[in-house]
């Protein structure tokens, strides 16, 4: 599981910082999560192949999370894309994007599918053989979702020599890898655990931006491997969290600790602060495995 941060700052782009966008690579799939201004430039800078992106997830319709999307959709057309592109985002995103395509008479020459979201309850958006993606309803000033990416369990590893020694016909090997008991040549049942090994643990990633402190989120992300949680403010400006519906680094760390996640990544920083290290110092008091998102940074888990 690889996460590439394309942008992790709030509000407006600057010469050295970009608004929200990131790419998650999981089980051979490449997902774009949010698409602030400059996203396609950062995709090129990080040498990420445009053609591998088939699903884009937009958390909400504030500009710093989707103003880069119209340009990217148009660039796919100019590059001769043929594969379908699926865009998952709040209701209204189809109207916003197709209006620009209409006014510019620049309809895509590839299938463009919008999956608009309205539910305030968690729902499954995408089911693939290897993984699933579902929503994480958040508490922001407008309708907003985070996204939870979860691997499905892999097959068990077969100890071929052990299976043969137990007199199991190779026709049953597939069932053993699926975790099923099978008969040996004498018809006696063989426990699959005796001739197979447990698969590697599944991985999971939760993306939560933008949101106020939200305890209802905790059971939905319980035990995830990696949590990306917005941390717009430091504790000294925590009084701004409720009116703006954002979180502080301390609050993000509190959520991570309560949810017993393995790793916390902070992001969506306000540009009022001179040092990102202040965010890590504050969060680490509550949760040890805290990391800082930075534009261009790659996390491998």
pLDDT attached to residue 123: 98
**Mean pLDDT on 73-93:** 97
**Mean pLDDT on 232-237:** 97
Residues 6+ positions from 259 with CB-CB distance below 8 Å: 217, 218, 219, 221, 222, 223, 224, 227
Confidence band, pLDDT 50/70/90 cuts, at residue 60:
very high
Given phi > 0 = left and psi -120 to 50 = alpha, else beta, which region is 103?
alpha
Number of other residues whose CB lies within 10 A of the CB of residue 227: 26
**Mean pLDDT on 201-228:** 97
**Mean pLDDT across the chain, nearest whole number?**
96
pTM: 0.92
Counting residues of the chain whose pLDDT is more than 90, the rounded percentage is 97
Per residue in 17-33, pLDDT tens? 999 999 999 999 999 99
Annotated binding site for Zn(2+): 60, 62, 64-65, 140, 210, 268
**Mean pLDDT on 82-94:** 98
Confidence band, pLDDT 50/70/90 cuts, at residue 110:
very high
For residue 139, report the phi and psi dihedrals to the nearest 5 degrees.
Answer: -115, 95
Per residue in 206-218, pLDDT tens? 999 999 999 999 9
Homologous superfamily of 2-154+200-300:
Ribonuclease Z/Hydroxyacylglutathione hydrolase-like (3.60.15.10)
Per residue in 141-178, pLDDT tens? 999 999 999 999 988 999 999 999 999 999 999 999 99
CA distances 163 to 77, 154, 173, 198, 240, Å, are 52, 19, 8, 15, 63
**Mean pLDDT on 42-67:** 98
Domain boundaries, the chain: 2-154+200-300, 157-197
Quick check: is 121 catalytic? no
């Amino acid at each position: 599981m690889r996460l590439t941060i394309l942008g992790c700052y709030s509000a407006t782009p600057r010469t050295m910082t970009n608004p929200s966008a990131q790419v998650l690579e999981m089980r051979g799939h490449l997902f774009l999560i949010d698409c602030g201004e400059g996203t396609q430039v950062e995709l090129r800078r990080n040498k990420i192949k445009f053609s591998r992106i088939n699903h884009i997830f937009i958390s909400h319709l504030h500009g710093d999370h989707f103003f880069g999307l119209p340009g990217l959709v148009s660039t796919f057309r100019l590059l001769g894309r043929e594969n379908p592109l699926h865009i998952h985002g709040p209701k209204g995103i189809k109207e916003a994007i197709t209006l620009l395509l209409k006014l510019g008479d620049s309809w895509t020459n590839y299938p463009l599918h919008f999956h608009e979201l309205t539910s305030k309850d968690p729902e499954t958006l995408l089911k693939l053989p290897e993984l699933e993606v579902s929503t994480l309803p958040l508490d922001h000033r407008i309708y907003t979702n985070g996204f939870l990416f979860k691997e499905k369990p892999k097959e068990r590893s077969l100890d071929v020599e052990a299976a043969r020694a137990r007199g199991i016909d190779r026709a049953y090997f597939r069932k053993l890898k699926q975790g099923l008991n099978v008969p040996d040549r004498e018809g006696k049942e063989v426990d699959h655990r005796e001739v197979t090994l447990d698969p590697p643990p599944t991985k999971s990633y939760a993306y939560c931006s933008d949101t106020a402190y939200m305890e209802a989120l905790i059971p939905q992300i319980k035990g995830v491997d990696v949590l990306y949680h917005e941390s717009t403010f430091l504790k000294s400006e925590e009084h701004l969290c409720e009116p703006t519906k954002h979180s502080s680094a301390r609050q993000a760390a509190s959520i991570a600790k309560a949810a017993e996640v393995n790793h916390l990544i902070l992001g969506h920083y306000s540009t009022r602060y001179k040092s990102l290290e202040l965010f890590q110092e504050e969060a680490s008091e509550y949760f040890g495995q805290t990391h800082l998102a930075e534009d261009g940074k790659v996390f491998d888990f």
